[in-house]
Structure 1
Amino acid sequence: MINIGSGDAAIVSVGSAFPDASYSQDEVGRLLGLEHRVARKLLAAPHIRTRRLFLPPPDPVTGRVPDETPAELHAKFRHGALEIGGRAIAAALKAAALTPSDVGNLLCVTSTGFLVPGVSSLFSRELGFRTDLVRTDVVGMGCNAGLNGLNALVQWVRTHPGRVALLVCCEINSAMYVRDETARTGIVNSLFGDGAAAAVIASETAEGPYVRDFESFCLPGRWDAMRFDWNDDAGKWSFYLDRDIPYVIGANLVEPVSRLLERNGLRPESISHWVLHTGGGAVIDSARRSLGLTEHAVRHTRSVLRDFGNISSGSFLVSLERLLDEGSARPGERGVMITMGPGAQIETALIEFAAAGKER
């Protein structure tokens, strides 16, 4: 059992889950019929090798999966979120030796489906959470929203010593695919995968990194660089990614990171670990150059993108999970987590690793 004290907040454990079916980029291209030259170029890039997706069986004649209706996509989101979201929750709680009845606050993040009541209610009903559970659904913020949710839970835990909170990021990106012959949809369909991640947040404990501080940075002039538009022809929402957004994000990362570090009396060389959102190969490259990071510093971010593609809001938690599983973080070392998404928005957080078995 975790040793719950008071005063600060720690990420006690992280769990992740994905659809069972794994596809190579070539397989995705064939199944979805992605023939646009931009999509073909992106599918051939080395940054992503496989993605886990909820796809229907292919047509035996064409070899392609059928184009799902809006109703079918909505149902896929609901069932997929419960399946992999539930498995991520179970993994995170098991790692912390907790059960759903121990959780006092559940915050769920998604941008790939809309339910009323939200997915937090779905999990509450199906997984046995307590009836006085505090529930929040963060919908539509995009890839940066995992850190927005973490911020809210950290503040709650700090003012509710001894209580446990749970962050769940659940994205069924394949429920938002639009299939046509445009570069716009080809980019999206060649990048995003399905995945869920959950993190247990508790009062000060020796079982995970402490979350020390947050810093946000908004670029309102680029509000339309990442967005959903309604596609009348398809009768679906269609996601748009500006081709320049990786470089815009990279050029603006230094400001929030510098503010975060300076406020805490730190310099970039004080940071031993970097956990970044897996926005795409160009995003990681741009961030690495902007912050002066080594390739080793972004190894987990690279590997998550390689294995799963961009899974939106939960990507940074899977990168953190790999860092924690690696066991390379030493007591007293610090890390910075960074996410970015629509707004355009950059979110950062400072974490600090503690000695096992000792409270700070």
Structure 2
Amino acid sequence: MPAPAIAHINRIGTALPPNDVHEAFVDFVGGLIKDRRDQLIFKRLVGRSAIDHRWSFFTPVKDPDGFTADAEGFYRPGAFPSTAKRMARFAATAPGLAEQAIAGLGLSAVELQGITHLVVASCTGMTAPGIDQILVQRLGLNPGVERTHVGFMGCYAAVNSLRLAHHFVRSDPSARVLVVNLELCSLHFQETGELESLLAMLLFGDGCAAALVTADAHGIALTDFRAATIADSADAITWGVGDQGFDMVLSGRVPAILQQALAGPAGVDLLHGRSPDEYGVWAVHGGGRAILDAVETGLGIGQGALNWSREVLRECGNMSSATIMFVLQRIMAGIGTSVPRGVPGFAVAFGPGLAAESFRFETVGV
């Protein structure tokens, strides 16, 4: 019996909205925090965040007299938008960002027509007809394309999306899977003076990634997938639908929980019992500087191994499910130069559960 086909990420395209909102957010939040001690803590942690830029469709305002976060007043103190208004904005802007990311794949009209499966993941917006159906129409995909939506899984949804593509290709070597990770995190800014919530919001920005996954043997070969749920940590990361957007709880305990878990049996299992030294390339979801530090320490990874993740965090912030795809794009771009061919790699992302979703891969190149 022939061996199953091996799925490869052949191409990755990415897209960001036009506005860098990081500094404007920091300035705006400075006006929301009333407690002097909390102001000092926030300022100190901003400096330690290792984030320089985050992107959004909102145009930031720096005029303190109006005290709005954006030019149109979508975020105005005392009148933050309802969830319905935020979802309307998602429906209006998200498809265009997805189209930009897909355009970055450089697929011809004939190649787009050849797409057999479409997987769209997002935890920051909902609309029906879905983004998948909208993209089928706008891109001229075969209307019979098999569509799957991965919803509300959080930052590790990209791994789940790639796992689906992996199984599609293994079951049908002729499958050509388009995977889209689309997140507009800036739609869920909350009006609060609570320091922990504001520090969580400090991390997130918007972004989209698209990937072509097929049996064609170039790019990154997907080896296998593995998941781990950390016991007694379900409340560490939560993501619920509120009246004014989606409410996130991101406990300050998350880095310590991850570090301890990864240093123990969970880490051994995720790494398939191998030593970290046996992996030459690392693609870790940049959930925040403290998260990357925890992974580095918990797994005993050599210094500098997470540089791609740290670069994406610095330049884009945490884009939820899209983040790890931005990291993989940088790794792919370096194959044959800064990244040797034939090197085993390990990828992992974290999210509600508290859970880790991972996969092993190999750098193949062109």
**What TM-score comes out, normalization by structure 1 length?**
0.88
Which residue of structure 2 aligns with residue 28 of structure 1?
A: 25
Indicate whether 1:83 and 2:80 are aligned. no
**Aligned residue identity for 2:321:** S
Which residue of structure 1 aligns with residue 356 of structure 2?
A: 346
Which residue of structure 1 aligns with residue 155 of structure 2?
A: 143
Quick check: 2:223–2:362 contact (8 Å CA) kept in 1? yes
Structure 1 runs (4+) greater than 6 angstroms displaced? none
Secondary structure (helix, strand or coil) at the match of 2:327 reads helix
Matches within 5 A, 1:140-219: 140-205=152-217, 207-219=218-230
Q: Deviations over 1:74-113 (max 9, x none)?
A: 122123311211111121253x997321211111111111
Matches within 5 A, 1:265-280: 266-280=274-288
Aligned-residue offset at 1:260? 4.7
Indicate whether 1:293 and 2:301 are aligned. yes
Query: Identity percentage over the alignment?
Result: 26
Which residue of structure 2 aligns with residue 62 of structure 1?
A: 66
Aligned-residue offset at 1:119? 1.7
Aligned-residue offset at 1:34? 4.6
**Aligned residue identity for 2:221:** Y
Matches within 5 A, 1:239-258: 239-254=248-263, 255-258=265-268
Quick check: 1:9–1:157 contact (8 Å CA) kept in 2? yes
How far apart, CA to CA, are the structure 1 residues paired with 2:32 and 2:346?
Answer: 37
Aligned length, in residue pairs: 345
Which residue of structure 2 aligns with residue 307 of structure 1?
A: 315
Quick check: 2:283–2:346 contact (8 Å CA) kept in 1? yes
Secondary structure (helix, strand or coil) at the match of 1:310 reads coil
Quick check: 1:74–1:113 contact (8 Å CA) kept in 2? yes
Quick check: 2:10–2:211 contact (8 Å CA) kept in 1? yes
Q: Which runs of 5+ in 1 are unaligned?
A: none
**Aligned residue identity for 1:28:** F
Quick check: 1:39–1:190 contact (8 Å CA) kept in 2? no
How far apart, CA to CA, are the structure 2 residues paired with 1:83 and 1:279?
Answer: 25
Secondary structure (helix, strand or coil) at the match of 1:40 reads helix
Aligned-residue offset at 1:223? 1.6
Indicate whether 1:132 and 2:144 are aligned. yes
For residues 133 and 257 of structure 1, do their structure 2 counterparts lie closer, same or farther at Cα, with a shift above 3 Å needed? Answer: farther
Quick check: 2:12–2:209 contact (8 Å CA) kept in 1? yes
Indicate whether 1:321 and 2:329 are aligned. yes
Q: Deviations over 1:112-168 (max 9, x none)?
A: 111223221221222221111111111111001110111111011111112200111
**Aligned residue identity for 1:216:** A
Aligned-residue offset at 1:272? 0.4
Aligned-residue CA RMSD in angstroms? Answer: 2.3
Aligned-residue offset at 1:299? 0.4
Aligned-residue offset at 1:248? 0.9
Quick check: 1:194–1:311 contact (8 Å CA) kept in 2? yes
Aligned-residue offset at 1:6? 7.2
How far apart, CA to CA, are the structure 2 residues paired with 1:245 and 1:78?
Answer: 32
Quick check: 2:234–2:354 contact (8 Å CA) kept in 1? yes
**Aligned residue identity for 1:284:** L
Aligned-residue offset at 1:64? 2.4
Secondary structure (helix, strand or coil) at the match of 1:92 reads coil
Indicate whether 1:42 and 2:45 are aligned. yes
**Aligned residue identity for 2:236:** A
Aligned-residue offset at 1:40? 3.3
Aligned-residue offset at 1:343? 1.1
How far apart, CA to CA, are the structure 1 residues paired with 2:240 and 2:110?
Answer: 41
Matches within 5 A, 1:104-143: 104-143=116-155
Q: Deviations over 1:31-71 (max 9, x none)?
A: 45453535433323251011111225538532522324123
Indicate whether 1:52 and 2:72 are aligned. no
Q: Deviations over 1:13-45 (max 9, x none)?
A: 11110001113x332222454535354333232
Aligned-residue offset at 1:222? 1.5
Quick check: 2:86–2:245 contact (8 Å CA) kept in 1? no
How far apart, CA to CA, are the structure 2 residues paired with 1:202 and 1:132?
Answer: 18
Q: Deviations over 1:190-230 (max 9, x none)?
A: 1100001111110141x211101111001252122111245
How far apart, CA to CA, are the structure 2 residues paired with 1:144 and 1:300?
Answer: 17
Secondary structure (helix, strand or coil) at the match of 2:318 reads coil
Choose the corresponding residue for 2:232, options 212, 216, 221.
Answer: 221
How far apart, CA to CA, are the structure 2 residues paired with 1:126 and 1:30?
Answer: 38
